[in-house]
Amino acid sequence: MDKNHISKAVINRLPRYYRYLGDLLEKDVVRISSKELSERMKVTASQIRQDLNNFGGFGQQGYGYNVEYLHTEIGKILGLDKKYNIIIIGAGNLGQALANYSDFERRGFYIRNIFDINPRLVGLSIRGKEIKYIDELEDYIKMNQVDIAALTLPKAKAPQIASNLARWGIKGIWNFAPTDLHLSEDVIVENVHLAESLMKLSYKLSEKRNPVDN
Q: Specify the pairing of strand 65-66 against strand 31-32.
A: antiparallel
For the purposes of burial, counting CB atoms within 10 Å of the CB of 194, is it exposed (0-12), middle (13-18) or buried (19 or more)? Answer: exposed
Q: For the chain, what percentages of helix, strand and coil (3-state, to nearest 5) are there?
A: 45, 20, 35
Among residues 40, 127, 155, 182, the one that binds ligand NAI under rule CB under 6 A: 155
- Return the number of the residue (37 or 94) whose C-beta is nearest ligand NAI: 94
Report the C-alpha gap between 18 and 69 in whole angstroms. 11
Q: Pick between residue 39 and residue 190 the one whose CB is nearest to ligand NAI.
A: 190
- List 80, 109, 111, 152, residue binding ligand NAI (CB under 6 A): 152
Whole-angstrom distance, CA of residue 84 vs CA of residue 111: 8
Q: Applying CB under 6 A, which of residues 73, 75, 95, 148 lies at the interface with ligand NAI?
A: 95
- What residues pair up with 111 in beta bridges, in sequence order? 86
Q: Which residue is nearest to ligand NAI (CB)?
A: 92
194 touching ligand NAI, by CB under 6 A: yes
- Residue 92 interacting with ligand NAI (CB under 6 A): yes
Q: How far is residue 18's CA from residue 55's CA, in Å, rounded to a whole number?
A: 14
- Out of 4, 12, 61, 93, point to the residue binding ligand NAI (CB under 6 A): 93
As measured in angstroms, the least distance from the Cβ of 127 to ligand NAI is: 16
**Interface residue list for ligand NAI (CB under 6 A):** 89-95, 115-118, 121, 134, 152-155, 157, 176-178, 192-195
